[in-house]
Amino acid sequence: MFIESLQPVEVVQGSPAKLQCKVTGVPEPSIEWFRDSEPVKEDKRIKIRFDGELCTLKILSTELEDEGAYKCVAKNDLGSVSCASELLVNEPNKKPEFIEKMKPVNVTEGEPARFDVTIEGNPIPVVDWFKGKDKLDDEGRYVMMDDEEAGIFTLIIEDTVPEDAGTYRCLAANEEGQASSKAALAVKEKMIAPEFTDEEESAPVNVTDGDEVCLSVGIKGKPVPGVEWYKDDKKLRKTSRIKMDENGEKFSLVILDVTPEDSGTYKCEASSKAGTITRTFDVNVAGMVFRDFPF
């Protein structure tokens, strides 16, 4: 019979552990130890002792795999008896450490950007994400995911815009300390070829000597296109009489106090890295007609 049973034991990984109990019987019993129903044998780490009463199993340096349900079985010719208890082996406290650090990310505007890190630490670290000095919240376009068991933490920025470019940082902290990792996000501007937003007028522009001509177009594109105006394939420059204006997506050419010499084919050319478009206007300036009147 056992006169003292096994008691639960809890240790930190790497430290020794001792399980013991007391048994009595005549004739003196033989002792066997089991962990999770598997026999435990002596080796360089594990020592088993029995002095006729005190049964001892000592693990000199515990490993996580040593954790389990231990049972001591005592036998003699008259029968057998056993007692059991748990050995818990805890990981030692450890400050956070980045096993996989953040890596630079390059995306095109509108695509998602993703940062992944793998972190070890005990207790499990609390992870925060920053852009520059600003802490990010798990809302809107920012999605934060974690697999604490695997130590994998993720930041996703959905539907990126050029303003998202910058340096991002992951900060991991627990009661033992903290660690951080950072990387840059580059967002390439998405290009959209220039296009006219209004319909083309096919009729010529007819004005009279001394009037003004206003030619206008609506143009959009990304990046914002540059717009040039031409007359008979000759590039126009701003003067006191020639005005070129831009208001959002609206571009215009105004010629004041026109003369017949201003007649011709005018062209608007919008261009960017994404492409070039053109639109032409036929302008006719009629001279003033003078009639004789009797006095």
Each residue's pLDDT tens digit, 239-251: 999 999 999 999 9
Q: Which residues pair with 74 in a beta bridge?
A: 31, 81
- Domain 2-90 CATH assignment equals 2.60.40.10: yes
Q: Examine domains 94-188 and 192-286 and report if their fold is the same.
A: yes
- What pLDDT score was predicted for residue 288? 63
- Domain 192-286 CATH assignment equals 2.60.120.560: no
Q: Which amino acid is at 49?
A: R
In sign, the C-alpha dihedral spanning 228, 234, 239, 242 is: negative
- What pLDDT score was predicted for residue 201? 83
- What pLDDT score was predicted for residue 287? 77
- Closest to 106 (Cα-Cα) out of 221, 222, 191, 189: 189
| pTM summary value | 0.62
Q: Which fold has domain 94-188?
A: Immunoglobulin-like (2.60.40)
DSSP line for 113-150: EEEEEEEEEESPPEEEEEETTEEP-SSTTEEEEEETTT
CA–CA dist 295, 8 (Å, integer) = 131
- What pLDDT score was predicted for residue 101? 97
Domain boundaries, the chain: 2-90, 94-188, 192-286
- What pLDDT score was predicted for residue 294? 55
Each residue's pLDDT tens digit, 73-122: 999 999 999 999 999 999 899 999 999 999 999 999 999 999 999 999 99
Q: Residue 13 — φ and ψ, nearest 5°? A: -50, 130
DSSP line for 238-289: --SSEEEEEETTEEEEEE-S--GGG-EEEEEEEEETTEEEEEEEEEEEEPPP
- What pLDDT score was predicted for residue 139? 86
- Closest to 143 (Cα-Cα) out of 157, 133, 132, 131: 157
CA–CA dist 177, 171 (Å, integer) = 11
Could you identify the residue written with the tokens 């515990």? 62
Q: Which residues pair with 178 in a beta bridge?
A: 173
In sign, the C-alpha dihedral spanning 126, 132, 134, 140 is: negative
Kindly give the parts of the chain with pLDDT less than 50: 290
